[in-house]
Amino acid sequence: MFLDTANVEEIREAASWGVVDGVTTNPTLMMRAGTADLKTNTLKIVDIVQGPVSAEVVATNAAGMVQEAREILSWSAHVFVKIPATTEGLKAMREISTWPNGRVNATLVFSPAQAYLVAKAGATYASVFVGRMDDAGLDGMEVVRQARAIFDNYDFDCRLLAASIRHTAHVVDALLAGADIITVPFGVLQKTIRSPFTDAGLERFLADWA
């Protein structure tokens, strides 16, 4: 499970639970965290999780993406570069994936066909944005299920990542749909461990012990 945030304090707290394997960020999350220093904040996150940390390019053409990716990937062996699922993004992914350190998280995937193409272009992760599709009245989890079947059919060396997770039901549905990784906001992770039955049971045990 990954955490979808750039807030260092949230990451530190969640990492202490022992269930966070990595972190995904984007420019919006960086600004919400109050930082415009992408490198410094990314390396702070790497120090905490010691696992995959994705940082996103802002260029929209392949040459610019490749240039930014070269810089981002030089920061740490734990850092992945997020490249959008566009035609320019595919060009960049194909080149970056040939590098010894070419760790690519293909972002903004909204269809099984896009998932197929980014995997074919050499992406390490394909991030399917479930919640944004649900917001538009589409079935985001069905895209995860279909992408899973495609990846299995073609034996792609690309991990399916369920992103844009809105609530705990999304977490369970993504697990059942075959996502390799789920990236969740801190608030959703907090809710995932909670149950009123657990709280009530604990209160009963404590009352009986008193």
Look at 2-6, 181-185, 199-203 and tell me which has the smallest mean pLDDT: 199-203
User: Residue 26: which pLDDT band, with cuts at 50, 70 and 90?
Assistant: very high
Contact between residue 104 and residue 111 where contact means Cβ atoms under 8 Å apart: no
Residue 192 clears pLDDT 90, i.e. is over it = yes
Residue 210 clears pLDDT 80, i.e. is over it = no
What is the pTM (predicted TM-score) of this model? 0.94
Residue 40 clears pLDDT 90, i.e. is over it = yes
> Closest by alpha carbon to 56, among 6, 120, 19?
6
Contact between residue 83 and residue 123 where contact means Cβ atoms under 8 Å apart: yes
Residue carrying structure tokens 């022992």: 18
Please state which CATH number belongs to domain 2-209: 3.20.20.70
The catalytic position among 82, 91, 120, 191 is: 82
pLDDT of residue 200: 86
pLDDT tens, 86-130? 999 999 999 999 999 999 999 999 999 999 999 999 999 999 999
Active site residue 82: yes
Token pair listed for 156: 């792609």
Mean pLDDT score of the chain, rounded to an integer? 97
pLDDT tens, 153-178? 999 999 999 999 999 999 999 999 99
Token pair listed for 129: 């944005």
Residue carrying structure tokens 């040459």: 63
pLDDT of residue 202: 84
Instruction: Give the mean pLDDT of 6-34.
Output: 96
pLDDT of residue 36: 80
pLDDT of residue 67: 99
Listing DSSP states for 154-172 in one string gives HT-S-EEEEES--SHHHHH
pLDDT tens, 125-146? 999 999 999 999 999 999 999 9
| DSSP state for residue 138 in the 8-state scheme | S
pLDDT of residue 208: 85
Cα separation of 147 and 87, whole Å? Answer: 19
Cα separation of 67 and 59, whole Å? Answer: 9
Enumerate residues 6+ apart whose C-beta is below 8 A from 2. Answer: 20, 21, 22, 23, 24, 52, 161, 181, 182, 183, 184
Residue 199 clears pLDDT 90, i.e. is over it = no
pLDDT of residue 45: 98
pLDDT of residue 135: 96
Cα separation of 125 and 82, whole Å? Answer: 9
